[in-house]
Chains A and B, each alone.
Chain A
Amino acid sequence: MTAIPAAEATRPARRRRPPAALWALLLPFLVMFAAFFIAPIVYAIVDSLFAQKSSGLGLAAPSREFVFLDNYMAALSNPSFVASLGRLVAFAAIEVPLMVVSALVLALLLGAGAARFPRVFRVTYFMPYGVPGVIAALLWGFLYVPATSPVLQLLSNVGIDLNPLSSDAVLFAIANIALWGFAGYNMLILIAALDAIPSDLYEAARLDGASEWRMIWSIKLPLIRPSIVLITLFTIIGTLQLFVEPLVLRPLTTAISSDYTPNLAAYNQAFSQGNPNLAAAMAVIVALLAFAFSALFIRLVNRKGNRAW
């Protein structure tokens, strides 16, 4: 066993070993992944192509029929579902730039030489990540209602009357909850990337008389670009799953309908309207949208090539 030719020794032994250990390491995950990721996705896709048809007076048991894309047609010709898709896109247009820019600004501020107590601030900003979205939405719900919100009361005292839950503002109100929860997490990813920049780069730039802005623009941003891409992608995906916040805020305002987002619509179809097939089609549409957005974003990023921005 130990007598391997020297040339072979540098090339790790993985080759010659039987892959038993490999499968022992890999299989548990693969089995779980297949059962709880792949299977539901396949099930959803298949299910979205069928429909329950009740025969005649509905006396016989309903039969399952292949209807191909009918459920997709039904979803996409349903005005309120289409409206919810539009709302989701609008929400993403608000949320994604807001999130990425905020995380970036926080990371750069903490990385600025002048920052005092950076660790304290960092934990403070990161802390909301540990607050479940539901509870965050509950808390902000209280802060969005004038009767319980100290902020709205203070603003109202100086003559500014805001209603975050009005139909014009509610998307921003929801965006704020998501921002509050995840900005610190995204900031942490960016800080990790900033920390990895060799400090001699800064020193060299400083010797050349570069200003703080110049260093941000020409050193920091280009070097943490992959991390910015990463958090943007995560935010896009997270954004399209919008579900909990509107669900929790709904009792507080008439501006949020029961099918406010595609996910809410799908949930309702599955569990209160009793149409799991349509729900599956809706869920698949959201997934396709997520993939399309991600792919579009990656292409945009790549098109700019290696040049910084």
Chain B
Amino acid sequence: MVTTDAPARPAPRPGPRPRGGARRPGTAHDLRSGRRAAPRPGGLAGAILVNAALVVAAIYFLLPVVWVLIAATKSPSQLYSTFGLWFSDAPQAWENLVRLFTQDDGAFSVWIVNSVVYSGVGALVATVIATAAGYAFAKYRFRGKEALFWTILGGVLVPATVIALPLYFLLNAVGLTGSYWSVLLPSMVSPFGVYLARIHANASVPDEVVEAARIDGAGDLRIFGSIATRMMTPAIVTIFLFQFVTIWNNYLLPLVMLSDTRRFPITLGLTLWNSQIQRDPAFTTLVVTGSAVSVVLLVVLMVSLQRFWKADLTAGATKG
């Protein structure tokens, strides 16, 4: 981010993108290719140490998830009276789930749908316009290009509060606060997506291809729409996933914008219930079970799309 390279050359540099095509030892698995060449000093003791550290780290990262999955099978009293990392004598996962989905007229399923809509639609539009802009930055020259690009990148550095609070007053002036749009529209802007798209367009869409298509008489938009986007597919999926998770995890924007609980995303809904625990401890189970369900949802999404996360961050350029 700090060091963008001259657009013309496949940037070997910054962050979430490795060097361009040519050298790409076995698609992102070179961790393993490293291993293949492994047997060497350090030996057994070193290997045990490394793997022990990895296991300890895994326990750390899994702990809250395992806890919440187990806790979701307990009644409020069991939550406080039984050991947190093992099941109680009378697990009641089903009852908890039924309650979760029936509480407040099925509010939880509404929140899930809302979250999916905000994240899905927001990320989709964000991806389309960020990819187009990134491609334009990579393949065209125009005056003020670099200044404009850096302004956009500067947007990544601006804290979300500085955006969200004034945005409330701005959207309030045009009567949009409280609507789906108040969350959707701001979610459609991904400066980081433009950055990723520019780098990937540089690396994976050769100028020669663009040129050849032009000579064949293809219009610029058609070249982008049917040739470049195909070559940039891994990057596009990545941009989508990042934006999806960013919107899914967002809390401040919906908190500021929404007041009708039927429009809440999951994050806001769960904190709403959480705030009622002191009034009614039964809400604890709802919060715990709801957290468990939403964690499972996203973890399934992330693990099943794992190869695209890799595509984004590691596979980088297509064969150059």
Please report A residues at the B interface, Cβ cutoff 8 Å. Answer: 1-2, 9, 12-15, 17, 19, 21-22, 24-26, 28-30, 32-33, 35-37, 39-41, 43-44, 47, 105-106, 109-116, 118-119, 121, 123-136, 138-140, 142-143, 147-151, 153, 180, 183-184, 188-189, 191-193, 195-196, 198-199, 202-203, 206, 211-212, 226-227, 229-231, 233-234, 237, 240-241, 243-244, 248, 251, 263, 266-267, 270-271, 276, 279-280, 283-284, 286-287, 290-291, 294, 298, 301
Contacts and interface: CB of A to CB of B under 8 A. Distances in A.
Nearest to A251: B278
Interface string B93-125: 000000000000000000000000000000000
Contact of A24 (B221, B245, B294): B221
Contact of B211 (A12, A19, A143): A12
13 contacts: A29-B132, A30-B133, A40-B163, A125-B58, A139-B67, A139-B291, A147-B80, A195-B314, A226-B3, A226-B13, A241-B159, A263-B161, A267-B161
B50 interface: yes
Nearest to A107: B31
B220 A21 contact: yes
B152 A33 contact: yes
Nearest to A42: B166
A180 B142 CA distance: 43
Contacts of A124: 58, 61-62
Contacts of A240: 159
A278 B36 CA distance: 60
B64 A196 contact: no
A35 B170 CA distance: 10
Say which size band chain B's interface belongs to: 35 or more
Which of B53, B57, B133, B210 has the most A CB atoms < 10 Å from its CB? B57
- Top 7 closest pairs, chain A to chain B, by CB: A196-B18, A150-B84, A21-B220, A113-B38, A114-B47, A29-B133, A130-B298
Contacts of B169: 43, 47, 276
Contacts of B40: 113, 206
B13 to A, nearest CB: 5
Given A25-B133, A114-B46, A139-B295, 5 more contacts: A47-B166, A130-B248, A130-B302, A132-B294, A267-B165
B65 interface: yes
Given A13-B214, A192-B314, A244-B252, A126 B159 contact: no
